[in-house]
Amino acid sequence: MKQTPEQHIPNRPLVEIVLPVLNEQSALECGVATLIGYLAHAFPYRWQITIVDNGSEDDTWEIAQRLQRTHDNVDALRLTRRGRGLALRTAWLRSEADIVAYMDIDLSTGLESFLPLVAPLITGQRRIATGSRLLTGATVTRGAKREIVSRAYNLLIHLLIPHRFSDAQCGFKALHSATARELLPLVEDDRWFLDTELLLLAEERGYRIHEVPICWIEDTDSRVHIARTAREDVKGLLRVRAGRWQRRLGLTGLNARRSTTLATKNRKHAKLPSMPQ
């Protein structure tokens, strides 16, 4: 499917949507077709879709290659290592788009939220944006277990590392490409925790995060192993908190050393009062 003439206007920002996939042969073709339909008819900016297969063992890569051959604005990238964070890091850092984004191939998040997600980035009001299933106005359909785990995880983040955003792990995010290049080299995680670490790092560096309430329906065929992912996320939170304390203590120590050095220099250069004759 070709983009409309309006979307070919050169000065319009280019938005690249990354789809990280792992063994998604049953969902990939339909998901990409639905996304293309939305972008071609309801999205006013230039766009590019990049499918990142990170370690699939089924026909996902073959389908991705076929989609790449069929559509001019669909690209495909294959990684041998697994990890959603690795897939996003690799695709975003090689991107030439103005805005980089990602969503899950199951399209659990309603696409009507995508333009509100990226619009403040395009206008320059924000540099990073995320969907939220916990904001007022969000509509969420999911099982009780996942609801409890999600809310408990976000509460745990608040207890360990105070922050302002509401939903750390929502798989619906966008960044200005320059911001992605600034933050991603500082993010250590290559798996599911990258979402949380990226937002925490952005806030620590002074970015205000734009949040969009979304309509979200749970994918019952999700590849997420909740218990294992929860353990990894807790380890990640403890690592990030320890890193923050180290940076603060290091900065405090550096400022103290600078103050001591400055005071010493001032004493050395101060004139002694004249002694009475």
108: helix, coil or strand? Answer: coil
Residues in the chain: 277
Please say if 106 is a catalytic residue. Answer: no
- Please identify which of the residues 189, 195, 219, 221 carries the catalytic annotation: 195
Distance between CA atoms of residues 85 and 161, nearest Å: 21
Distance between CA atoms of residues 66 and 37, nearest Å: 17
Alpha-carbon distance values, 241 to 47, 158, 223, 247 (Å) = 37, 11, 28, 10
Distance between CA atoms of residues 58 and 104, nearest Å: 18
Q: What beta strand segments (E) does 25-69 contain?
A: 46-54
Kindly give the interhelix angle for 60-70 and 28-42, rounded to the nearest 10 degrees: 30
What residues act catalytically?
A: 195
